[in-house]
Every structure is written in structure tokens, then in C-alpha cells.
């Protein structure tokens, strides 16, 4: 069965929740919640925040839709991770998810 596409923000949240114990890859429980800005997420591991501000580029990033495949020059499925000091890191959404073990 092919992975479900990530088209809206709740699809990305679904994929975060499907990692760890829910995905059978570890005993960690991952979840996310929408921040007060209405566009970024806080990602938690076992109830503790591990990323306080993550922007999924498929939602509101000017993209019509997002692709589950994170490879190629037409990759629209990316994330921006904000550090507490305001620095940002941009990467593949799929790679981000794959690191939630």
C-alpha cells in the first residue's frame, strides 16, 4: 500500500503521530500541536517538546499540494525548523519524519 499523500497540515501531523510506537519503530510516542501562530507545530516525543517551531511547507507555503516523495527538483514537501535563537534549518519533510524513531 502506498503512503497517504500529505496535502494539508493535518496530514503532516498524522504522519508525525504514525512514527515511533505507532509505526512499530521504537517505544517513543510522537505527537504535534498547532502553535498560536496558526501555521507552525510543536513536535513532542513522549510528551516533551523536541521541536518548538516547525513549519511544514505544504501548508501556506505557496504550494498547491505536497508530494510524499521527498526527492527530485519538484520537492514541495519540506520543513523549516526554527531554533530558539531564531536560526532556521530547511530540509525534506520525509527525512524529518524518518528521524523520528
DSSP 5: P
Asked if residues 57 and 63 have their Cβ atoms less than 8 Å apart, the reply is yes
The answer to whether 40 and 55 have CB atoms below 8 angstroms apart is yes
pTM for the model:
0.81
SS3 state of residue 61: coil
Q: What is the pLDDT of residues 4-51, one digit of tens each?
A: 778 788 989 999 999 999 988 899 999 999 999 999 999 999 999 999
Q: How far apart are the first and last CA of the chain?
A: 21
Tell me the chain's radius of gyration from C-alpha atoms.
13
Which tops the pLDDT comparison, 69 or 101? Answer: 101
Amino acid at each position: 500500500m502506498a503512503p497517504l499523500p500529505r496535502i494539508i497540515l493535518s496530514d503532516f501531523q498524522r504522519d508525525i503521530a504514525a512514527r515511533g510506537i505507532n509505526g512499530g519503530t521504537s517505544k517513543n510516542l510522537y505527537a504535534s500541536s498547532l502553535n498560536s501562530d496558526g501555521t507552525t507545530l510543536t513536535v513532542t516525543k513522549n510528551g516533551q517538546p523536541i521541536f518548538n517551531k516547525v513549519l511544514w511547507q505544504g501548508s501556506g507555503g505557496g504550494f498547491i499540494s505536497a508530494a510524499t516523495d521527498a526527492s527530485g527538483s519538484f520537492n514541495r514537501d519540506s520543513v523549516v525548523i526554527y531554533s530558539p535563537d531564531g536560526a532556521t534549518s530547511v530540509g525534506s519533510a520525509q527525512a524529518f519524519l524518518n528521524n523520528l524513531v
